Structure 1
Amino acid sequence: LGEIERSRLIAIQSSLEDVSKLTKPFSLEIAGAGAFPGKNRPRVFWLGMSVEKESPLFGIQQWIEEAMAVLEFEKENRRFSPHLTLGRVKFNADFSGIFQYLEKHPFPSIAFTVDHVSLIQSHIKPSGAEYTMLSEYRF
């Protein structure tokens, strides 16, 4: 969301509280691993999600995106791609060994329950991003 004023932060927190009241815990499954934008020049390593079209995750994402649009935040141009970020790459290197390993040893499926949404602030520093949880909203 970028730099935001305190008044907008309060509005965001209110929106997240609203969505948490309308949501019940649900299950997701980690399935597979990969990199954005791709294997040739990876910038982000991730674990993928096996998500049904009917999953509450898509409803939550859409609801939050619409709530942020009302607060005049720009909508994301990219298609929503549920994943867990493992790490970011700051340099060019040969990661082919990692991808060869993952092809021979696929990441196991792991199911887990989603029971909250968190608002997290990032501080960009020369050493990398540092994250602070501002608030958590349980379903």
Structure 2
Amino acid sequence: METERLFVALTLPAPVRAVLAGFARPLTGVTWTPPAQLHVTLRFLGDVATDALPPLMERLAKIRVAPFVLSIEGAGSFPPNRPPRTLWVGVGSGHPRLFQLRQRLDDALLASGLQLDLRTFQPHVTLARATEVPDCGATPWLNQHRQIAAPPFLVEAFDLYASELRPEGALHTLKRSFPLAK
């Protein structure tokens, strides 16, 4: 059975990606996300059978949420209270339509028979990944950029991506875009 590694995301507009990419600095032990791949993950699906894609896309196409504006602000890291492994910037903290979209997405995915991770949804844009080296530059960067911000943007669609893991990093390919309600 053929599968594809998939995720659902909000694609950031080019001006927002450009602002966020401008915060990247050469730092020991830190690998920055390529600007073209900066996004807000709504749901990671993992490996999905290719024959399950048409009905899945049909359900995703029926999701309706009014378009909304998202803000991007505040840097943080995962895991909390430990040396940073992921540097991120926060997105639309508490925006009701973002969470409404996530809930309707989850409903559609569950109705499609997919198993979902039950972790709390913490919307963010992954800016970089850090290694556990003693002189890693992630913590000083984070301390300097906690108040990071980018222009707010209008969310008018969500996207289904395939993610191919490669030695140089994941390659994300847009499968289909789904417009929100008009």
TM-score of the two chains, using structure 1 as the length reference: 0.84
Matched pairs, number: 133
51 and 97 in structure 1: CA distance in 2 versus 1, 3 angstrom threshold: closer
Q: Percentage identity across aligned positions? A: 27
Deviates more, 1:117-126 or 1:66-75: 66-75
Written as runs of structure 1 = structure 2, the 5 A alignment for 1:77-96 is: 77-89=118-130, 91-93=131-133, 94=136, 95-96=138-139
Question: Is the 2:87–2:142 Cα contact (8 Å) retained in structure 1?
Answer: no
1:43 deviation in Å? 2.2
Deviates more, 1:126-135 or 1:71-80: 71-80
For residue 131 of structure 1, the aligned residue among 172, 175, 182 is: 172
51 and 101 in structure 1: CA distance in 2 versus 1, 3 angstrom threshold: closer
Map of 1:59 onto structure 2: 100
Gaps of 5+ in 2: 1-44
1:82-139 CA distances to partner (integer Å, 9 max, x unpaired)?
Answer: 11122333x2132221122124xx2135311101000011001122111100011122
Q: Secondary structure at the match of 1:92?
A: coil
Gaps of 5+ in 1: none
Question: Is the 2:74–2:148 Cα contact (8 Å) retained in structure 1?
Answer: yes
Give the superposed CA RMSD: 1.8
42 and 11 in structure 1: CA distance in 2 versus 1, 3 angstrom threshold: farther
Map of 1:122 onto structure 2: 163
Moved >6 Å (runs of 4+): none
1:15-35 CA distances to partner (integer Å, 9 max, x unpaired)?
Answer: 21111xx22211111120111
Matched, 1:49 2:91: yes
Question: Is the 1:32–1:109 Cα contact (8 Å) retained in structure 2?
Answer: no
Question: Is the 2:84–2:139 Cα contact (8 Å) retained in structure 1?
Answer: no
Q: Secondary structure at the match of 2:170?
A: strand
Q: Secondary structure at the match of 2:94?
A: coil
Q: Secondary structure at the match of 2:62?
A: helix
Matched, 1:76 2:117: yes
Q: Give the distance between the partners of 2:76 and 2:56, measured in 1 at CA.
A: 31
Q: Give the distance between the partners of 2:143 and 2:129, measured in 1 at CA.
A: 19
1:64 deviation in Å? 1.0
Q: Give the distance between the partners of 2:164 and 2:65, measured in 1 at CA.
A: 29
What is the identity, as a one-letter code, of the residue corresponding to 1:129?
Answer: A
Map of 1:23 onto structure 2: 65
